[in-house]
Structure 1
Amino acid sequence: MLLFFIVSCGGGGSSDSSLENSSSSNPTVTSISENCEITTWNNKLQRCDLMHEGLERYYFIYVPNNLNNEKSIPLLFALHGYGSTARNHFSYTNYIPIADQNNLIVVYPQGAPMSTTLTSSSSHWNVGGWTVGSNVKDVEFIDALLDLINNKINFDQTRIYSSGMSNGGFMSYHLACNLSSRIAAIASVTGSMTPQTYTNCNPTHATPILQIHGLLDTVVPYNGLSYMESIPKIMKYWSEYSSCNSEPDETITENITEGYVINIQEYKNCLNDVNVKLFIHNSMGHTWPRFSNYGISASTEVWNFVSQYNLYGKIN
Structure 2
Amino acid sequence: MRRTVWLGLGLGGAVLALAGCGVGLRGSALPSPDPGGAMPPGTFREVLRTGEDGRRRTFEVHVPASYDPTRPTPLVVVLHGAFNTGRGIEAKTRFSALSEREGFLVAYPDGIGFAGLFQHWNAGWCCGKALRIGLDDVGFVDRVVDRIEEVFAVDPTRVYMIGESNGGMLTYLYAAEHPERLAAAGVSSGAYGGRRAIDEETWHVPRPAVPVPLVAFHGLADDTLPFAGGADVGSLPVLEGLEFWAEANGCAAAPVTEELADGAIVHRRWTAEDHDQGCAPVELWTIAGWGHEWAGGKPGDDRKAAALLHGFDATRTAWDFFRRFRREPAQGGS
Shorter chain as denominator, the TM-score bin is 0.7 to 0.9
Written as runs of structure 1 = structure 2, the 5 A alignment for 1:280-295 is 280-290=286-296, 293=306, 294-295=309-310
Residue number in structure 2 paired with 1:307: 323
**Residues 248-271 of structure 1: CA distance to partner in whole angstroms, max 9, x if unpaired?**
11110125xxxx700100011276
Structure-2 change in CA distance of 1:99 and 1:285 (3 Å): same
1:266 has 2:285 as partner = no
Residue number in structure 1 paired with 2:120: 124
Q: CA deviation at 1:128?
A: 2.6
1:252 has 2:246 as partner = no
Q: Once superposed, which parts of structure 1, at least 4 consecutive aligned residues long, lie more than 6 Å away?
A: none
Residue number in structure 1 paired with 2:230: 225
**Residues 22-47 of structure 1: CA distance to partner in whole angstroms, max 9, x if unpaired?**
xxxxxxxxxxxxx9258xxxx82101
Write the distance in 2 (CA, Å) between the matches of 1:253 and 1:282. 11
**Residues 152-200 of structure 1: CA distance to partner in whole angstroms, max 9, x if unpaired?**
1121112111111111111111111112121221111111112489645
Whether the 8 Å contact between 1:10 and 1:166 is mirrored in structure 2 is no
Unpaired stretches in structure 2, ≥5 consecutive residues: 17-27, 32-40, 196-201, 300-305, 330-334
Whether the 8 Å contact between 1:224 and 1:230 is mirrored in structure 2 is yes
Write the distance in 2 (CA, Å) between the matches of 1:304 and 1:252. 19
TM-score (norm 2): 0.76
Written as runs of structure 1 = structure 2, the 5 A alignment for 1:100-179 is 100-113=100-113, 122-131=118-127, 132-179=131-178
Q: CA deviation at 1:4?
A: 9.3
Whether the 8 Å contact between 2:187 and 2:216 is mirrored in structure 1 is yes
Whether the 8 Å contact between 2:44 and 2:62 is mirrored in structure 1 is yes
Write the distance in 1 (CA, Å) between the matches of 2:207 and 2:126. 21
Whether the 8 Å contact between 2:249 and 2:279 is mirrored in structure 1 is no
Whether the 8 Å contact between 2:207 and 2:248 is mirrored in structure 1 is no
1:73 has 2:89 as partner = no
Residue number in structure 1 paired with 2:218: 213
Q: CA deviation at 1:5?
A: 5.5
Q: CA RMSD in A?
A: 2.9
Residue number in structure 2 paired with 1:24: none
Write the distance in 1 (CA, Å) between the matches of 2:15 and 2:217. 16
Whether the 8 Å contact between 1:9 and 1:81 is mirrored in structure 2 is no
Residue number in structure 1 paired with 2:284: 278
**Number of aligned positions between the proteins:** 279
Structure-2 change in CA distance of 1:129 and 1:282 (3 Å): same
Whether the 8 Å contact between 1:52 and 1:141 is mirrored in structure 2 is yes
Q: In the alignment, residue 233 of structure 1 is paired with which amino acid?
A: E
Q: CA deviation at 1:134?
A: 3.0
Aligned-partner SS, 2:92: helix
Whether the 8 Å contact between 1:169 and 1:188 is mirrored in structure 2 is yes
Structure-2 change in CA distance of 1:225 and 1:90 (3 Å): same
Whether the 8 Å contact between 2:207 and 2:245 is mirrored in structure 1 is no
Aligned-partner SS, 1:310: coil
Give % identity.
24
Aligned-partner SS, 2:216: strand
Unpaired stretches in structure 1, ≥5 consecutive residues: 16-34, 115-120
Aligned-partner SS, 1:156: strand
Write the distance in 2 (CA, Å) between the matches of 1:284 and 1:199. 25
Structure-2 change in CA distance of 1:141 and 1:11 (3 Å): farther
Q: CA deviation at 1:273?
A: 4.8
Q: In the alignment, residue 142 of structure 1 is paired with which amino acid?
A: V
Aligned-partner SS, 1:301: helix
Aligned-partner SS, 2:168: helix
Aligned-partner SS, 1:74: strand
Write the distance in 1 (CA, Å) between the matches of 2:152 and 2:105. 10
Structure-2 change in CA distance of 1:290 and 1:3 (3 Å): farther
Whether the 8 Å contact between 2:193 and 2:205 is mirrored in structure 1 is no
Q: In the alignment, residue 290 of structure 1 is paired with which amino acid?
A: G
Structure-2 change in CA distance of 1:286 and 1:128 (3 Å): same
1:237 has 2:244 as partner = yes
